[in-house]
Structure 1
Amino acid sequence: MTITAAGGAAREPEDAQLSFDELGTPLRETTFVVVDLETTGGSAAEDAVTEIGAVKVRGGEVIGEFGTLVDPERGIPPNIVSLTGITQAMVTGAPTMASVLPAFLEFVGQAVLVAHNAAFDIGFLRAAAERHGHTWPRRTTLCTVRLARRVLTREEAPSCRLSALADLFGATTTPTHRALDDARATVDVLHGLLERVGGLGVHTLEELIGYLPEVTPAQRRKRELARDLPHAPGVYLFRGPREEVLYVGTASDLRRRVRQYFTASEGRRRVREMVGIAERVDVVVCSHSLEAEVRELRLLAAHRPRYNRRSTNPHRRWWVVLTEEAFPRLSVVSSPRAGAFGPFSSHGAATEAVEALQDALPVRRCTQRIPARAPKGAPCALADLGRCQAPCAGRQTVEDYAPAVHEVRRLFTGESVDALAVLAEQLERLAVAERFEKASAERDRLIALVRALDRGQRLATLAALAELVAARPDGAGGWDFAVIRHGRLASAGTARRGVRPMPVVDALIASAETVLPDDGPLRGAPADEVSVVLRWLERPGTRLVHCDVPWAEPARAAASWRPWVARAEAGREAHRLPD
């Protein structure tokens, strides 16, 4: 086995593509490992590798080579010996794949793997990894056959065989059906193909991968729409011929992201259709990712662009409330008020939560309006089954019914989790009775209820805060700041490395949006926005700069049931049957 580091350039400096734009991962800064295998046959499942050759390149220069014969631990067919020249005697005593593979993976590191007909070579390597107990790492892979068919015309390259492409690009190494020679020839082919795509405006690894699918003429013509966009985080809006907003999205680098729509990295049919209609791309530059996400949500709500999936009722959420009557019942509504529980993304999920709560607490299920005095209704079947105290028939007074209502409110606010304990006990009884199918369904329903309560209580706690200022490292020695008022982003900014942060914070607070709270559980803030803000705050590394009152959750909130949820989900996965 030989591994060498090479200092000589495989190409002259002018071929290192020094004119590439600094977008994404520039191709001249990308490390490629070009690999070729020789094998005992064509089946990765039944045949084995006899030789590995690999060349590591970056910026047009060879920086290392890997080459070794491999003992396939089986015979080599005569036709393969005739093709490759690798005999049984040559591989006898060579290292086996068990020892070669770890060394090869170490040589590759985090590089992009390249092969001519990559499905063949990568398929053998993946099968060998599985056979010897290694996890094949997920990595970017590039096939020079596929790239050649995308770049070259039939007139230029009637055949995409390695020998034909090596002749076309004037490769310095002739393919010989030996692994290292063929890998060296593939390097020259790769460089030739990269020169071609560079002339088409493909300058980054991301654009190269996106270029491989077929690009429509409409996408190609609209490429100029991204030319003057900034390299900054923010929101982009595709506009149509009547200035209508067609699509809204966010990006950490606006120019790089929008360019991807014109290099075929976007394969969705509706989005390709949108690109064909678009006449202009507007952008809103933002201080950091949180501001971009919040602005996207607000723009989606304002414009309802028809090509965004989330445009239909972007803030539509469902809530569970207690009705305002003498004998309150649980109801699913779309407009929350004080004391509501949620939010839920669908009416069905909210209804499931209501049914779980009705099993845990003695609140009525019927929808009739029951007067406080002298009700004269007829008891329903649930009363006969002992599952309802029949307040409709006067068998239960308002005072007798009140403890159940009080317990619902305590559960919603996080003051009590007794109802969850009742459901867990019911689940345990089903398991003891070996009613496993019913127990499984009830377990999943309880998991969903706990998660919904936990999320809703955390969102409500954040929305209750009149003002909170938080900071996150920007990754370059500076800070990203957010001023949050009642769950809404009121101001955002940055203090780059070397800038004193506190004067920036003071300025952001002074210029922040005034937020007037409502009476609902989220104080009038959209649930999606509060969720985005909370997710940003809960990421590791976030620091609280200022908070008008301590940010805390009730000790008996649903969060105390997270360990139970983790155990229940682990048990569900352990007993899940394979497909």
Structure 2
Amino acid sequence: MQLTFDELGTPLRDTTFVIVDLETTGAPPAPDGITEIGAVKVRGGEVLGEFATLVDPGSVIPPQIVALTGITTAMVRAAPRIQEVLPAFLEFAAGSVLVAHNAGFDVGFLRTACQGHGYAWPRPPVVCTLRLARRVLAGQETRGFRLATLARLFGAATMPTHRALDDARATVDVLHALLERVGSVGVHSLEELLDYLPEVTPAQRRKRGLAANLPERPGVYLFRGPGDEVLYVGTARNLRRRVRQYFTGSDTRGRIREMVGLAERVDSVECAHALEAQVRELRLLAAHRPAYNRRSKNPRKAWWVALTDEPFPRLSVVRQPRDGVLGPFTSQARAKVAADTLAGATGLRTCTQRIPATGADATPCVLAELGRCGAPCAGRQTVEQYAPAVRQIADLIVGTDNAALHAANRQVEQLATGQHFEQAARRRDELATLLRGVERAHRLAALAAVPELIGAAPDGAGGWEFAVIRYGRLASAGVARRGVAPMPVVDALVASAETVLPGPGPLRGAGAEETGLLLRWLIQPGVRLVRTEVPWAEPAHGAGGWRPWLERVATASTLEHVG
């Protein structure tokens, strides 16, 4: 299919590439997992600049990583943290094509660092020299595709040393050698290179016109099939550019290729900014359950921990929220761990017998009569004697007291003091699961309790992005560009906002995913509260005070896993 003039693209000789390499702590991508960044900016074969710095990850670098890279904890102690380095690196790489060997690894760490520290990931075009080499080189030319192997094959001026700048310099020479190879098969522009990397089917190329009339604005796109059914839903900062990527083969997943083959048209919903697009995506996924979205086949289910309604209540895991429940938990297993930990800390019974109250001093339980039950109520407790345990649970759920958490921690400390270290570690991790659930429950419930809250985030160009949030749901969204008075925009958004009536349960009827998305947006660095109808506050006796403890547990768990 012949390209139109607007699709001929940027010649490779005029394309600016930033070749980057990272050294990390070795863990999966995390906001503070980078220990060194090295990058080289090139265009037309000429080096335009270099960027290199050590980065303090704020944690101990594992011994095997020290042995591999030579970067020690002492070396990075005086280095800047990643949140200080990111602005400079993003400016250095702005407007360029990112290149890395095994780019998914390096880009994954950079993207996670941006997300974790409140920086917008610019979504640059990415070229992976590992994938390009596998596509270009015949099997008999090389025994492998490691960077060191390719550097030797192409006679690179710098050999890789597992230090970021040296490896980036070696990747520059590998990239140039590979670009010479693809030039012989007619790849002369950036767009042709991005098309060449994956295998692109003729059917995909023929459907590029489906993106032609989409706006270059943020929003949600919907691929529709032959029967007008919604096949796939996604979000984009630039709808036209994102949808066109589906027809260049940049996504190699088989189900996505199959989806593109079935698609007959692409609809779009323009949004004021990325937050609105993400919320609308959630709602459209719930409404259409598109066949090719994994989240439609495996929706994120919310689970809750609730006290049963009986004289001697126990904790059960339920699917439907109601007043007086704890959650949401992202899996049934986590909810079960939280319930068991709470029961063990407070002395609540765990048996599933239905036990009615039949007097002031007796519990008619067959298992108790036979001596086959060790539950607290089996010792012929009265309802009044059992009540303190129930009250501890109820107080923790609403955040008025966290004695149950301290009781659970004392059990961990007693096991550790008694040198039962494996049991102590297991109980510690179970308590951490409970604490994370309690913290999330209180934070989401606090936001869902506010009738109206207006937040504002800087748009990066001197303007503001606004969100009107009512009872944990997005009611309106808009922007005030640089030079536009913001408050009249806010007033207009409030006047036109969706009416939201509170529902039952701790989240007032809102969905846990949507409220969580709004919460994460609100607590980003730089986001401001314009106004709120009532104070937005978390419980004083919730899990907030346990965050340092959770950080220590996360560090300990990581070191145990590495060990």
Q: So what's the TM-score if we normalise by structure 2?
A: 0.71
Given that 1:517 and 1:523 are in contact with CA atoms closer than 8 Å, whether structure 2 keeps it comes out as yes
Work out whether 1:358 is the aligned partner of 2:358: no
Work out whether 1:390 is the aligned partner of 2:375: no
Deviation at 1:349, TM superposition (A): 1.5
Work out whether 1:404 is the aligned partner of 2:389: yes
Work out whether 1:376 is the aligned partner of 2:364: yes
Work out whether 1:293 is the aligned partner of 2:278: yes
Counterpart residue number, 1:506: 491
Counterpart residue number, 1:323: 308
Counterpart residue number, 1:491: 476
Deviation at 1:247, TM superposition (A): 0.7
CA separation of 1:442/1:462 partners in 2, compared to 1, >3 Å: closer, same or farther?
Answer: same
Q: Which letter does structure 1 place at the counterpart of 2:524?
A: R
Given that 1:20 and 1:28 are in contact with CA atoms closer than 8 Å, whether structure 2 keeps it comes out as no
Deviation per residue, 1:110-152 (Å, 9 max, x gap): 576889xx89xxxxxxxxxxxxxxxxxxx955479749849xx
* Aligned counterpart in structure 1 of residue 432 of structure 2, from 438, 447, 457: 447
Deviation per residue, 1:495-533 (Å, 9 max, x gap): 111111100000100111111111200000010100101
Deviation at 1:439, TM superposition (A): 1.4
Counterpart residue number, 2:148: none
Deviation per residue, 1:452-485 (Å, 9 max, x gap): 1001110000000000000000011110000000
CA separation of 1:443/1:548 partners in 2, compared to 1, >3 Å: closer, same or farther?
Answer: same
Deviation at 1:361, TM superposition (A): 0.9
- What does 1:248-267 align with in structure 2 at a 5 Å threshold? 248-267=233-252
Counterpart residue number, 2:547: 562
Distance, in Å, in 2 between the alignment partners of 1:183 and 1:567 is 43
- What does 1:463-474 align with in structure 2 at a 5 Å threshold? 463-474=448-459
Distance, in Å, in 1 between the alignment partners of 2:287 and 2:442 is 28
Distance, in Å, in 2 between the alignment partners of 1:26 and 1:511 is 48
Work out whether 1:538 is the aligned partner of 2:527: no
Deviation at 1:286, TM superposition (A): 0.6
Distance, in Å, in 2 between the alignment partners of 1:399 and 1:247 is 56
Deviation at 1:193, TM superposition (A): 3.0
Q: Which letter does structure 2 place at the counterpart of 1:298?
A: R
Q: Which letter does structure 1 place at the counterpart of 2:197?
A: L
Given that 1:112 and 1:141 are in contact with CA atoms closer than 8 Å, whether structure 2 keeps it comes out as no
Given that 1:20 and 1:27 are in contact with CA atoms closer than 8 Å, whether structure 2 keeps it comes out as no
Distance, in Å, in 2 between the alignment partners of 1:30 and 1:382 is 80
Deviation at 1:31, TM superposition (A): 3.4
CA separation of 1:113/1:506 partners in 2, compared to 1, >3 Å: closer, same or farther?
Answer: closer
Deviation per residue, 1:72-111 (Å, 9 max, x gap): xxxxxxxxxxxxxxxxxxxxxxxxxx9xxxxxxx9xx757
Work out whether 1:193 is the aligned partner of 2:183: yes
* Aligned counterpart in structure 2 of residue 413 of structure 1, from 379, 387, 398: 398
Work out whether 1:31 is the aligned partner of 2:17: yes
Deviation per residue, 1:351-382 (Å, 9 max, x gap): 11111111011222122322232442224499
Report which stretch shifted further, 423-432 or 183-192. Answer: 183-192
3-state DSSP of counterpart to 1:575: helix
Distance, in Å, in 2 between the alignment partners of 1:566 and 1:346 is 22
CA separation of 1:520/1:535 partners in 2, compared to 1, >3 Å: closer, same or farther?
Answer: same
Distance, in Å, in 2 between the alignment partners of 1:498 and 1:235 is 27
CA separation of 1:147/1:227 partners in 2, compared to 1, >3 Å: closer, same or farther?
Answer: farther
CA separation of 1:387/1:381 partners in 2, compared to 1, >3 Å: closer, same or farther?
Answer: farther
Deviation at 1:325, TM superposition (A): 2.2
* Aligned counterpart in structure 2 of residue 341 of structure 1, from 319, 326, 329: 326
Counterpart residue number, 1:527: 512
Deviation per residue, 1:526-547 (Å, 9 max, x gap): 1010010101111110000010
* Aligned counterpart in structure 2 of residue 227 of structure 1, from 172, 187, 212: 212
Given that 1:300 and 1:314 are in contact with CA atoms closer than 8 Å, whether structure 2 keeps it comes out as no
Deviation at 1:190, TM superposition (A): 4.6
* Aligned counterpart in structure 2 of residue 304 of structure 1, from 266, 284, 289: 289
Counterpart residue number, 1:480: 465
Q: Which letter does structure 1 place at the counterpart of 2:246?
A: Y
Given that 1:148 and 1:160 are in contact with CA atoms closer than 8 Å, whether structure 2 keeps it comes out as no
CA separation of 1:223/1:413 partners in 2, compared to 1, >3 Å: closer, same or farther?
Answer: same
Deviation at 1:26, TM superposition (A): 9.8
CA separation of 1:114/1:522 partners in 2, compared to 1, >3 Å: closer, same or farther?
Answer: closer
Counterpart residue number, 1:575: 560
3-state DSSP of counterpart to 2:292: coil
Q: So what's the TM-score if we normalise by structure 1?
A: 0.69
Which has the greater radius of gyration?
Answer: 1
Given that 1:235 and 1:248 are in contact with CA atoms closer than 8 Å, whether structure 2 keeps it comes out as yes
Unmatched 5+ stretches in structure 2:
21-38, 51-69, 71-88, 103-125, 143-153, 159-171
Distance, in Å, in 1 between the alignment partners of 2:184 and 2:473 is 47
3-state DSSP of counterpart to 2:377: coil
Given that 1:344 and 1:452 are in contact with CA atoms closer than 8 Å, whether structure 2 keeps it comes out as yes
Distance, in Å, in 1 between the alignment partners of 2:469 and 2:275 is 11
Given that 1:237 and 1:248 are in contact with CA atoms closer than 8 Å, whether structure 2 keeps it comes out as yes
Counterpart residue number, 1:8: none
Deviation per residue, 1:217-255 (Å, 9 max, x gap): 322222221122111111111111000001111111111
Q: Which letter does structure 2 place at the counterpart of 1:365?
A: T
Counterpart residue number, 1:123: none
Distance, in Å, in 1 between the alignment partners of 2:293 and 2:212 is 23
Instruction: Name the Cα RMSD after superposition.
Output: 3.9
Given that 2:223 and 2:265 are in contact with CA atoms closer than 8 Å, whether structure 1 keeps it comes out as yes
Q: Which letter does structure 2 place at the counterpart of 1:470?
A: G
Given that 1:245 and 1:305 are in contact with CA atoms closer than 8 Å, whether structure 2 keeps it comes out as yes
Distance, in Å, in 2 between the alignment partners of 1:22 and 1:496 is 30
CA separation of 1:290/1:32 partners in 2, compared to 1, >3 Å: closer, same or farther?
Answer: closer
Given that 1:232 and 1:252 are in contact with CA atoms closer than 8 Å, whether structure 2 keeps it comes out as yes
Deviation at 1:316, TM superposition (A): 2.9
3-state DSSP of counterpart to 2:465: strand
Counterpart residue number, 1:38: none
- What does 1:11-26 align with in structure 2 at a 5 Å threshold? none
